[in-house]
Structure 1
Amino acid sequence: MSSIELRRVATHNLKSFDLRLDHRKIHVMTGVSGSGKSSLAFDTLYAEGQRRYMESLSSYARQFLEKMPKPDIESATGIPPAVAIQAKNVISNARSTVGTQTEVNDYLRAFFSRVGIPFCPDCNGAVVMAYQVDTVLSRILDAQSERVSIFFPYLLKKNSKAEAQALSADFVKQGFEFLIADHGGDVSITPDSFHSKKEHEVRVKVDELTRNVNQRNRIREALELAFQAGAGRLGVICGNQIEWFSKDLQCSGCRKVFKKPTENLFSFNSPLGACPTCQGFGRVIETDWNLVIPDESKSIQSGAVDPWTKASTRWEQGQLLDFCKRRKIPVKTPWKTLKAEQKKWITSGKEGDEYVSIADYFKYLEKKTYKMHIRIFLNRYRGYSVCGDCRGSRLRPEALYVKVGGKNFFEIQEMKIDTLLHFFKNIELNLFEKERSEALMSEILARLGFLSEVGLGYLTLSRMSRTLSGGEVERIHLASSMGASLMDTLYVLDEPSIGLHERDNQMLISLLRKLRDLGNTVVVVEHDRTMIESADEVIDLGPRGGEGGGRILYQGPVAGLRKCEESLTGRYLSGKDCIERIPRMAKPDKNRKIRIQGAQANNLKNCDVEIPLGKLVVLTGVSGSGKSSLLYEVLYNRYQKYRGRPISQEELGKVQLIQGLEKIQDMVLIDQSPIGRSPRSNPATYMGVYDEIRKLFSRLPASKANGFTPGHFSFNVDGGRCDACKGEGEQVVEMQFLADVHLTCEVCQGKRFKEETLEVQYRGKNIFDVLELSVDEALAFFKDEKDIQKKLAPLSNVGLGYIKLGQSSDTLSGGEAQRVKLASFLGRTKAQGQILFIFDEPTTGLHFHDIKKLLASFNALIEQGHSVIVIEHNTDVIRSADWIIDLGPEAGDKGGSLVFEGVPRDIVKVKESHTGRFL
């Protein structure tokens, strides 16, 4: 078939429509948040494609795969096997890196094992090679000296005269007549020359001849005999120079023997390659003195040593004060003013004193780690530090002796992908090496090229996967898919432009077109204007979120979408609607600002920046330019240190000076992490509105008649919740070696509460019905309840009117979780001092119309006296900023510099700024 055809699609809020998608096209699905894009793309198209593919497999294979629920559709035809690439980072394994995830490391390990050359660390990096007869012959014929002597080493053990006589006779019988003495002269093989009182090595002469081409056969025979008699080792004297050769990998200088490199030697996930000290993690857990002494402005008497401020360590604090008294160490002055020697005495002890130092105390506790509370106590003061043996390479020393193009495996891993791509394109290999590595080189270049094309050229292969953003993980999967070269496959992508600067978007679009041209069908859920305008076909869903959405407003070329009056997307694309800048003071107050000097975290190059307070500050720059390093490691982590909060040295960005931190009450990071760790957590509980709803239900006449309290309407405590499922609504069946199976509770039918609890109704709805309401529906339903309205309204204001009150927090996207957190601050009645709010790409997953609401929310925070700083690539948000800090000009080593700092209208004048060019 030439197309995918779906009939009566009714998954979630979709309104039972029909849809036809042509194969081998790029289809972009857009619409306001909650309009049904993900329901159509992932829960229908991908789920059905994956389900049908799984049904074609054997029952044995299916048990290892996650079963997809059947979407609510009448029929579906033409759906190929599907691959979903989502903007989520669920990787927590510390062993997973960009190199392992993209399989580039697999090819690099094979490449190193085939063409890598060992270098001796004890002989100034001398090349270690395994020689064959022809190689040694060529070296002799190319030598400058005319006379050549060939010999082999023989280990002469301690022997008697009789043994020496028999041994010398055996050598003479084989045709060997002379030994080569240390001074270079010949010594005849006699019983006396073979008699030895201690074990030592002698050099048995095989032949001496004049070097010329006519002697080639004689030299070859001598070399073959020497290799055979010398167990694979021989020596050659040309002039006064002795050179050693071995058929094994052996250093000719120090005679150290090296093992032949194997693929596992270069794997930090294999015992054969992993560093024995850190087990291949590159880091070890040690005492972190920044956690032990978190606030250096405190004195010893006021509790500078944090572990000894606990009730259980009063004796240790007392003996520290006694020690300081004996050694005349001041206990009332700040820790930072003490001499280095005095600090060392306190932390490590002083010889000849009975004082138990902090280090000694921790060593004593480590012997008692079988006790849970001891382990918890120690972990408070431990942090990760680079392994001293492998220095972060994760590999054992033998792996680092092998080099390709002058680089060892770790140095390759530490190179930026763009730099690495250039390195392999220009690497010089001999004919033999090219033949052995041609296929591997092709795969390495292809995969590095795809990573560069999706805008990830600033990453290194050693970067841990769990530190990547959702957008970076998605683009890595996209690059891996290109490397797999699949055909006739349905690719479903979730906002691949997340985290990409406008400059890099074109490369991403080009890659999607390559994916299409391979013969694949590409479906993209996207809000980015450039991506929408580059689609072969646009499907716009709406007109609103939740129950107000789920309809196809437009399907066709983007030009037609601009004319669709019902479509909010079309109105913003055509310019009929726009995101207007909220007017505020043009110039920031010079006295209210945070000043950073000499920021050097990661790739930052001594950046000096000013962050005005009480404003919307936007941090811009291409991906990898240093924005996150400045915002998290320098600003946020340094503030945590300033407030005396525990933060490890590894997390602190280097900086010369930070001024103005005292001008804010707190600094709050509103990231995209889940709002709760438990599936029981939901928007209603997080916002505190569920408490008000439970109180309301407990005041109803039916509740009073039954003696119900607010606790009866909670699914977290016994009373009114279902006893069978403990308020979960489902029961978990453990499947031992397989994934647990979740079944709807047969007692409450998934409604979480007892039957008598559900009989209590407010305006015709019970507590379960209320939790099933969307935020906007709840606002209308509780229109007479001011306390509930006050706590719900912020959720609607940030564009989350479509989510359900009882929706489990683990089903919310990162962007939705971030906006729930923002709404919780908007819902507070009074400002708790002046807070600096930090956001990282808050427009993720947002439609133009939702971005307008987000900016209004930022303005509400600023009106309350707070400050907002965001990392953002969206041009509408950048235009709305009061102050822009633009980093770059490029990514990685070519970035990390301050390109521009000031108001938006001035950035367009800066030629070096990619952001200014797109504005």
Structure 2
Amino acid sequence: MNKYIEIKNAHIHNLKGIDVKIPRNKLTVITGVSGSGKSSLAFDTLYEEGKHRYLMFSNSGFMVEGESAFDQITGLSPTVAVEQRIIRQSNPRSTVGTKTKISNMLAILFATYGERENKCEGGRPLTMEMFQKNSAKGMCVKCLGKGIVKKIDEEKLFGDGSQKIEDVCLGVGKRGSTKKMLESFYKYYKVTGDTPLNNLTSDELFVLKYGDYGKSSFIGFIPWITEVTNGAFSATGRLEQMLTEAGYMEKGKCPKCQGMGLGEEAIHTSIGGKTISEMEQMYIKDLYEFLSKLSTKNRLIQEILTKLECMIDVGLYHLALSRSLPTLSGGEIQRLFLASYIIADMDAIIFIFDEPTIGLHEIEKAKLIDIIKKLVGKGNTVVAVEHDEGFIRQADYIIDLGPDAGILGGAKIYEGDFNTFLSCGDSRTAPYLSGKRPFVHKEDYRGFNETKLLTLKNASLHNLKNITVDIPLGVMVGVVGVSGSGKSSLISETLVPKLKALLKSKCIMEDEVEEAIELGEVELLGVSQIKKCYVIDQKPIGRTRTSCLATYTGTMDRIRQLFAKASDLPPGFFSVNAQGGCPICKGEGEVHYHVGYGNFIHVKCEACEGIGFIPESAEVTLEGKNIKDVLEMSVDEAITFFSDKDEPITHMLETLKRVGMGYIKLGQKTPTISGGESQRIKLAKELSKGQAAKDSLYILDEPTTGLSFYDSEKLMVLLQELVDKGNTVIIIEHDSHVLSSCDYLIEMGAGGGKDGGEVIATGTPRELKENPHSIIGRYLC
């Protein structure tokens, strides 16, 4: 067997025809600044070729020849990759339990050994389906397995009758599916959207509310709202948000199943005194301890315990099986996959990871490194794209790419062992590790006024122990703690919803509509001191295949105008979603072939030669560049190109560069953008508007995700500037260098799950270093 995986002339994206040797059965870390070519080498070259060879020799019967990203790869074995940008989950019914199959195992356990209450003994044998809320036999008939019911306040919605019909329809009656729904009512009863409700007869008003049951195709406004808000149309989120904010809709626990989402059989069946719903809501660590006491001989319980133990080992002890996958961070999802690989006990595999330490506290990273080294010890090869200092120091082999991003990157700077890497003068990473370029840390912390605070009282969501927290304004505040200590529960799930409720439209955030969270008696004081709040998270930006960086930031509209002006063609000819899109590939530039087992082969569209546009659009140029050439430009290149053509485009691009996104291409598809990149793009989009000069609040969740030491330093300079202008920045972080640059820290803990939920230390980084109760203190600079 070859000792190395050898790649010859890797040249995809910005890779400059590099030759690389990766030792087998070792831990190799690929380093470099953001956009230097790390993912192009690890995922787009190594993983894609591994997948291609598997499909070629499998029974899929499918073979497509595409453009090669390299000349030759030898020593390749089966390859498994978990890349954060492609593992985002969007199905809210998918949970930790369903993903790991532990929920299925619990359902079998309850069907086999469950004890029914006497009043529920109906003669029917228990089956697995009865304990699955996504099953027709197991779901609650009232809430259809969701655990939540939505109630319309009809009296408030229809008011005193003076409103017009279209006003009642919340302003969405003039367009889209609402207009289509109302048309049959207008036609049959000979009224218009401007007709006041008082002009309708009692029968007509009844029909408007509830439908006419066969007289026409009109189903009624209330039934229509029910269908839409239960996910029947794409307008679900928008309409639900409008109804909720206007006070017309309330959400709450389903009274029939008490929020469990399960039917009668499951609700009244238990093992060891707990129902399946109660078990799935327990922290994984607690569930492990509970099941361990039940039986040491039951084989099914032992299998469940083995899976739970593995999840504890990878730092997921703070999750519950009922936790929805869309609420997990990229790092948590990646470790969920890692747990499944360890359980499978595979060897001779090449594992490729994308920053596996993301979302982990410093104290937890050491455990993860040990687990990954165990994978290597079993005869596997691990390749990780990573920025974490501790992880890099544990690597057997280093590959450094760069020196910079985009067209200034893609070269192999170093290849070899860690100790020699420290003296590599051309690397942007090595100087930080060797101490030749020390991190810039605060010497003086900003003070704050004791009266200028946000005070959150009685926070008790999830594991929060009814705590009260003071958050100083006008400074940079870091929120830290081990996984599951309560950071997100405190900030993202308690503070943010309260800010949204009190500031309303002055609280700027995306993906606002989520399931209702009962916050109890929580109070938030001091909100009057904030003019605007910006919640900038890592949720995906745009999910369609044709959405790209340029469309999301709004620069694409101006680019289309420039091409339209140069050609006398309508702007739509320069949009892949309008007249300009290739009819064969729908503007994607690729045709997708499903080859089984969830795998796809992506082949360049022959009709448009991969550009996504029709020939008439592609023929128009600006200074020799057509629309596709422009979209292939990096932000850095585009700044130079547009500097004398369009000031708003240039301003947006310069802001993207300031947040460390100078390497990304204008046409980069948004579904392929990582969570960390999404967050920085959202930040740039807000900063480019030139608003919120003072007294604004910015809330960010791990803003340095995906950034090298070099890029993190630049981002922190920008965030410090925001605070210098009189704003407040709150960041949830684990990076010790970033936390050391904060003015004030709030540390949650001491552990995760039931062992967390309390504030264990507050103060400046210097004060936490001296605080014996602080865990992060020992890692601060």
**Whole-Å Cα distance in 2 between the matches of residues 836 and 404 of structure 1?**
48
Alpha-carbon shift at residue 631 of structure 1 (Å): 1.2
Q: Say whether 1:389 aligns with 2:387.
A: no
**What do residues 216-247 of structure 1 show as CA deviations (whole Å, max 9, x unaligned)?**
xxxxxxxxxxxxxxxxxxxxxxxxxxxxxxxx
The code of the aligned residue for 1:29 comes to I
| Residues 413, 426 of structure 2: 8 Å contact kept | yes
The one of 541, 546, 552 equivalent to 2:401 is 541
Matched-pair contact (CA < 8 Å) for 2:700–2:732: yes
Deviation at residue 689 of structure 1 after TM alignment = 3.7
Q: Is the 8 A contact 2:454 2:470 kept in 1?
A: yes
Specify the code of the residue in structure 2 equivalent to 1:421. Answer: Y
Partner residue, 2:333: 473
Task: Provide, for residues 841-861 of structure 1, a one-character-per-residue CA deviation record: whole Å limited to 9, x for no partner.
Answer: 111111111101111221232
Give the alignment partner of residue 823 of structure 1, picking from 673, 684, 703: 684
Q: Equivalent of 2:536, from 670, 673, 685? A: 670
Matches within 5 A, 1:443-842: 443-581=303-441, 586-644=446-504, 650-694=516-560, 703=566, 707=568, 713-715=574-576, 717-718=578-579, 721=580, 724=583, 728=587, 730=589, 744-746=604-606, 748-753=608-613, 755=615, 758-785=618-645, 787=647, 788-831=649-692, 834-842=695-703
Q: Is the 8 A contact 2:147 2:260 kept in 1?
A: no
- The Cα of 1:632 is off from its aligned counterpart by 2.1
**Are 2:290 and 1:423 aligned?**
yes
SS in 1 for 2:261: coil
Q: 1:861 to 1:372 in 2, by over 3 A?
A: farther
Q: Could you tell me whether the CA contact under 8 Å between 1:282 and 1:386 is conserved in 2?
A: no
Tell me whether 1:99 sits opposite 2:100 in the alignment. no
8 Å CA contact retained: 1:29, 1:538:
yes
Query: Aligned in 2, Cα 1:916/1:366: closer, same or farther, shift over 3 Å?
Result: farther
Give the Å deviation of 1:387: 2.9
Letter in 1 for 2:342: M
5 Å matches for 1:122-521?
A: 122=119, 259-279=124-144, 281-287=145-151, 311-312=164-165, 364=210, 371=219, 377-378=225-226, 379=229, 380=240, 381=243, 382=249, 384-428=251-295, 434=297, 437-438=298-299, 440-521=300-381
In 1: Cα distance, 2:220 partner to 2:451 partner: 50
Aligned with 1:82 (options 72, 79, 83): 79
1:572, CA displacement in angstroms?
0.8
SS at match of 1:385: strand
Pairing partner for 2:765 from 886, 892, 904:
904
Of 869, 873, 876, 2:730 maps to 869
Shift of 1:483: 0.9
Query: Deviation of residue 789 (structure 1)?
Result: 3.2
Corresponding position of 1:239:
none
Contact 1:732 1:740 in 2 (8 A): no
Q: Where does structure 1 lack aligned partners over 5 or more consecutive residues?
A: 123-250, 294-302, 318-354
Secondary structure of the corresponding residue to residue 675 of structure 1: coil
| Structure-1 separation of matches of 2:327 and 2:764 | 32
1:14 maps to 15
| Separation in 1, partners of 2:606, 2:672 | 23
1:401-460 C-alpha deviation (Å, 9 max, x unpaired)? 44433333223222211112222333356xxxx2xx23x233222211110011110111
TM alignment of 1:872-883, pairs within 5 A: 872-883=733-744
Return closer, same or farther for 1:309/1:462 CA change in 2, 3 Å cut-off. farther
In the alignment of these two chains, the number of paired residues is 717
**For the residues of structure 2 that align with 1:59 and 1:514, how far apart are their CA atoms?**
33
Residue pair 2:210, 2:222 contacting (<8 A) in 1 also? no
Residue type of the alignment partner of 1:515: L
Q: What is the alpha-carbon distance in structure 1 between the residues aligned to residue 491 and residue 522 of structure 2?
A: 15
For residues 76 and 740 of structure 1, what CA distance do their matches in structure 2 show? 21
Does structure 1 conserve the Cα–Cα contact (< 8 Å) formed by 2:25 and 2:376?
A: yes
Shift of 1:101: 1.1
Mark the CA change 1:40 to 1:653 in structure 2 (over 3 Å): closer, same or farther.
Answer: same
One-letter amino acid of the structure 2 residue matched with residue 658 of structure 1 = L
The CA distance in 2 between the partners of 1:504 and 1:897, in whole Å, is 19
Aligned equivalents of 2:169 and 2:410: distance in 1? 66
Q: Aligned AA for 1:427?
A: L
| 1:297-351 C-alpha deviation (Å, 9 max, x unpaired) | xxxxxx898898963288999xxxxxxxxxxxxxxxxxxxxxxxxxxxxxxxxxx
Contact 1:29–1:523 at 8 Å: present in 2 too?
yes
**Partner SS, residue 807 of structure 1:** coil
Q: Choose which of 825, 844, 848 in structure 1 pairs with 2:709.
A: 848
Deviations 1:797-843 (A, max 9, x none): 11111111222222222211211111122323353663211111111
CA shift, 1:621, in A, is: 0.8
Question: How much does 1:532 deviate?
Answer: 1.0
CA deviation string 1:336-367 (max 9, x = no partner): xxxxxxxxxxxxxxxxxxx99xx999974697
- Pairwise CA RMSD: 3.6
**Structure 1 Cα separation of the partners of residues 772 and 741 of structure 2:** 21
- Contact preservation (8 Å) 1:724, 1:745: no
- How far did 1:32 drift? 0.7
Cα distance in structure 2, aligned partners of 1:103 and 1:9: 39
3-state DSSP of counterpart to 1:598: strand
Whole-angstrom CA distance in 2 between matches of 1:826 and 1:622: 31
The 1:726/1:410 distance shift into structure 2, 3 A limit, reads: closer
Verify the 8 A CA contact 1:51 1:68 in the aligned structure 2. no
For the pair shown, which has the larger CA radius of gyration, 1 or 2?
Answer: 1
Give 2:266's aligned amino acid. A
Deviations 1:623-680 (CA, angstroms, capped at 9, x unpaired): 1111111112221111221135697882353344211112222222112233334444
User: Secondary structure of the residue that 2:280 maps to in structure 1?
Assistant: helix
Q: How far 1:872 sits from its partner (Å)?
A: 0.8
Contact 1:383/1:648, CA 8 A, preserved across alignment: no
SS in 2 for 1:568: coil
Identity %: 38
1:916 Cα deviation after fit: 1.5
Question: Partner residue of 1:169?
Answer: none
Q: Secondary structure at 1:884's aligned position in 2?
A: strand
Q: Check conservation: 1:9, 1:16, Cα contact below 8 A.
A: yes
Q: CA deviation at 1:275?
A: 3.6
Q: For 1:655 and 1:525, how far apart are their aligned partners in 2?
A: 44
Secondary structure of the 2:550 match is helix
Distance 2:273 2:719 in 1: 52
Q: Distance in 2 between matches of 1:309 and 1:865?
A: 46
User: Is contact 1:277–1:387 with CA below 8 Å preserved after alignment?
Assistant: yes
Letter in 2 for 1:76: I
SS of the residue corresponding to residue 407 of structure 1 reads: coil
Report if the CA contact (8 A) 1:497-1:505 is conserved.
yes
Separation in 1, partners of 2:131, 2:571: 61
Per the TM alignment, residue 264 of structure 1 is displaced from its structure 2 partner at its CA by 3.8
CA distance in 1, matches of 2:84, 2:16: 26
Shift of 1:587: 0.7
SS of 1:651's partner is coil
Q: Distance in 2 between matches of 1:739 and 1:488?
A: 22
